[in-house]
Amino acid sequence: VITVPAWRDLDWLVHGFGERADGAWISESSRAWVSQVHGADVRHALSPGPRGEADALIADIPGVTVEIRTADCLPVLLLDRARRRVAAVHAGWRGVVAEIVPAAVAGLGGNLEAAIGPGIGVCCFEVGPEVSERFGREGRVHVDLAAIVREQLRRAGVSAIHDLTACTKCDAARFHSYRRDGQAAGRLVSGIGLR
Ligand SMILES: [Zn+2]
């Protein structure tokens, strides 16, 4: 599990971006999750278990770890260490266009830090005109989703950004990738919560 160096000393926090080999590393008794729909809805996990359809999940109760699953989409974790509130965000290109990350920042409030985990890199995320126009561009282009998310975070007032990005398609040994493996692709498990 890839962890944020600046968060490792917080003994009350569980967090990380899982690699392929880590599988479902979050304990079944604490995990809370959503059915991810590439939208901009944010939910609050008051207990473990399924929390409906959304793409960001907030937690602030000990024993609840919010989980998201990705295979190229960007996993983003948010932390308010003073108030001990956290969120996990699923940010694929549709979610980025829908501004799911700023929505999660607004939902969580407070003085936040963000961590961006492995997802499809600018090297491999080539899109056609129907997608590039959603980003205000034209024709076939490479889109840097992580850079767009960093800018959205800054505009939303989050300046402490821990960038742990790596390209999921390029590194088959460590990461699942939908673009590389298609329907058969597994999912990387990321999460954050209070012990
Ligand atoms: Zn790549």
pLDDT at residue number 148: 98
- The CA 159 to ligand 1 mean position distance, Å, reads 26
- The CA 41 to ligand 1 mean position distance, Å, reads 29
- The CA 175 to ligand 1 mean position distance, Å, reads 11
127's CB contacts (< 8 A; 6+ apart) are: 93, 140, 141, 142, 143
176's CB contacts (< 8 A; 6+ apart) are: 20, 71, 168, 185, 186, 187, 188
- The CA 23 to ligand 1 mean position distance, Å, reads 22
- The CA 129 to ligand 1 mean position distance, Å, reads 20
- To the question of pTM greater than 0.95 for the whole model, the response is yes
pLDDT in tens, 182-193: 999 999 999 999
- The CA 13 to ligand 1 mean position distance, Å, reads 31
pLDDT-derived band at 88, boundaries 50, 70, 90: very high
- The CA 98 to ligand 1 mean position distance, Å, reads 24
The tokens describing 190, both together, are: 């990321």
pLDDT in tens, 119-137: 999 999 999 999 999 999 9
Residue 33 CA: distances (Å) to CA of 65, 156, 159: 9, 24, 27
